[in-house]
Amino acid sequence: GQNIDQPTEMTATEGAIVQINCTYQTSGFNGLFWYQQHAGEAPTFLSYNVLDGLEEKGRFSSFLSRSKGYSYLLLKELQMKDSASYLCAVKDSNYQLIWGAGTKLIIKP
Amino acid sequence: IAGITQAPTSQILAAGRRMTLRCTQDMRHNAMYWYRQDLGLGLRLIHYSNTAGTTGKGEVPDGYSVSRANTDDFPLTLASAVPSQTSVYFCASSDSVVGDVDTQYFGPGTRLTVL
């Protein structure tokens, strides 16, 4: 079966750095996506990785290792507005997105 | 530009009733999707459409049907609602299915409760 694993919940302090991990086992791989979802709202796109390595976009970076079936999302200089769920999704061999259950990130002052 | 709109925002429905959730996008995207999101579970694909006139089954299609008569609209119908269909439903669209980055854009969601 196909599986995406992420921690259920993480807590971090405002101004700090946090790393959210995602491991996956899917039938094929055509890219990995990270989305942000605030409570009661729709998911919004954050980043995309298809090749190994780090993609940086402002305060957010995403890393991929295809051989290890592993990705992480790195959030720097945390702000209170970063409190949200972060969803990892992998596009499989049928070009369908397989979604993790999401990691709820709580930011404390 | 509205992006993707969904209606209704929320609905309480008696079991056994028929219900259509509406989804409209104005981005001229080829592909559209319906997901359900339940607490503790990832988004699960119900049905999808790669282009107008075609539809396909996702991971959890039973009890749901869709149509794609044109590019903009992708309604989801529950023929006879059951309590296990209580969920938040998201419609999404993307420019393509296959591509370097075919980001999916989501509508605001419909919160459905079946009693």
What pLDDT, in 10s, does the model give residues B79-98? 999 999 999 999 999 987 66
Contact in structure between B71 and B17 (CB atoms under 8 Å): no
In the three-class reduction of DSSP (H, G, I as helix; E, B as strand; rest coil), residue A81 is classed as: helix
pLDDT of residue B35: 98
Residue A64 has pLDDT above 60, yes or no: yes
Neighbours of B68 (CB within 10 A): 20
Q: Provide the shortest C-alpha distance from residue A17 to chain B (in Å).
A: 25
pLDDT of residue B99: 61
Q: What residues in B contact A4, CB-CB < 8 Å?
A: 42
Q: What residues in A contact B97, CB-CB < 8 Å?
A: 95
Residue B100 has pLDDT above 70, yes or no: no
pLDDT of residue A30: 92
- CA–CA distance, B89 with B66 (Å, rounded to integer): 13
Residue-averaged pLDDT of chain B = 93
Q: Kindly report, residue by residue over B2-34, the tens digit of the pLDDT.
A: 799 999 999 999 999 999 999 999 999 999 999
Q: Is B100 in contact with A102 (Cβ distance < 8 A)?
A: no
Residue B77 has pLDDT above 70, yes or no: yes
Mutation choice for B interface testing from A27, A36, A99, A104 by most B CBs within 10 A: A99
Residue-averaged pLDDT of chain A = 95
Strand partners, A48: A33
Residue B38 has pLDDT above 70, yes or no: yes
pLDDT of residue A1: 75
Residue that is written with structure tokens 């729709």 in the block: A42
Q: Provide the shortest C-alpha distance from residue B95 to chain A (in Å).
A: 13
Q: Give the closest of B98, B100, B105 to A95, CB-based.
A: B98
Residue A18 touches chain B, beta carbons under 8 Å: no
SS3 string, chain B, reads CCCEEEECCEEEECCCCCEEEEEEECCCCCEEEEEEECCCCCCEEEEEECCCCCCEECCCCCCEEECCCCCCECCEEECCCCHHHCEEEEEEEECCCCCCCCCCEECCCEEEEEC
Q: Provide the shortest C-alpha distance from residue A93 to chain B (in Å).
A: 10
- State which residue of chain B sits closest to A50, comparing Cα positions: B100
Higher pLDDT, B1 or A53: A53
Residue A68 has pLDDT above 90, yes or no: yes
pLDDT of residue A96: 87
Q: What residues in B contact A51, CB-CB < 8 Å?
A: none
Q: Provide the shortest C-alpha distance from residue A10 to chain B (in Å).
A: 15
Residue A34 touches chain B, beta carbons under 8 Å: no
pLDDT band at A82 (very low <50, low <70, confident <90, very high): very high
Q: Which amino acid is at B83?
A: P
Q: What residues in B contact A44, CB-CB < 8 Å?
A: 106
Residue B1 has pLDDT above 70, yes or no: no
- CA–CA distance, B111 with B90 (Å, rounded to integer): 9
Contact in structure between B11 and B19 (CB atoms under 8 Å): yes
Higher pLDDT, A12 or B42: A12
Least confident of A10-19, A50-59, B83-92, B93-102: B93-102
Residue A93 touches chain B, beta carbons under 8 Å: no
pLDDT band at B50 (very low <50, low <70, confident <90, very high): very high
